[in-house]
């Protein structure tokens, strides 16, 4: 599917993402191979549990997965315009229209609103950053990388957490400093 992992799309804290093709349809996909972890694969289970509950135009669709002993992979729809940070870097040489930036912002916001308020199970992502927003062929933004996500019951307003989650510089202050209040779906 990935032609021996020939085309790297990106690397993150939990693994590497490769471009691939589905053998039956030839459809382009992104295959995230998770690093072997010493734990029981909580990040993998979180990502699968979170993504399998979603269906929204601004969320990257889960197409499949592999969970075979220490081999763990997640197959997503391929996003040809890469991540938002790559897209903005490429577009810096040309003047980007405010309308385009506004549309991207609204799309990201709609995806988050869906996760927090309209999804089957409320999901708090905990790692929203430009590298985890992917752009499809029509420049529609889609949230991805749910490895640090946490499911939250609709009756709960605060989430119990033992440790901080997310990328430094993007973590909500409530997660780190308890004096700001607890983490919630309102992050």
CA 48 to centroid of chain Cα atoms: 11
Label residue 12 exposed, middle or buried (CB < 10 Å: 0-12, 13-18, 19+). Answer: middle
Cα torsion 145, 113, 109, 158: sign: negative
32 labelled ligand-binding? yes
Alpha carbons 5 and 147: distance in angstroms, whole number = 21
The structure tokens 């021996």 sit at: 4
127 is catalytic: yes
The residue annotated as part of the active site, out of 127, 136, 145, 163, is: 127
Show which residues are catalytic: 127
Q: Residues at the annotated binding site?
A: 32
Q: Residues at the annotated binding site for ATP?
A: 32
């Amino acid at each position: 599917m990935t032609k021996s992992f020939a085309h790297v799309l990106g690397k993150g804290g939990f693994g590497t993402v490769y471009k691939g093709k589905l053998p039956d349809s030839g459809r382009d996909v992104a295959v995230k191979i998770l690093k072997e972890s010493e734990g029981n694969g909580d990040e993998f289970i979180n990502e699968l549990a979170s993504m399998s509950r979603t269906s929204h135009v601004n969320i990257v669709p889960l197409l499949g997965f592999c969970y075979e002993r220490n081999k763990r992979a997640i197959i997503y729809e391929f996003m040809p315009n890469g991540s938002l940070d790559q897209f903005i870097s490429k577009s810096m040489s040309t003047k980007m229209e405010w309308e385009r930036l506004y549309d991207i912002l609204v799309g990201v916001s709609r995806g988050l609103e869906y996760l927090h308020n309209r999804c089957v199970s409320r999901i708090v992502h905990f790692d929203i950053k430009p590298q985890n927003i992917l752009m499809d062929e029509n420049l529609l933004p889609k949230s991805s990388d749910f490895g640090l996500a946490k499911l939250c019951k609709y009756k709960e307003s605060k989430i119990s957490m033992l440790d901080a989650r997310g990328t430094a510089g993007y973590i909500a202050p409530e997660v780190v400093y308890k004096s700001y209040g607890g983490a919630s779906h309102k992050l």
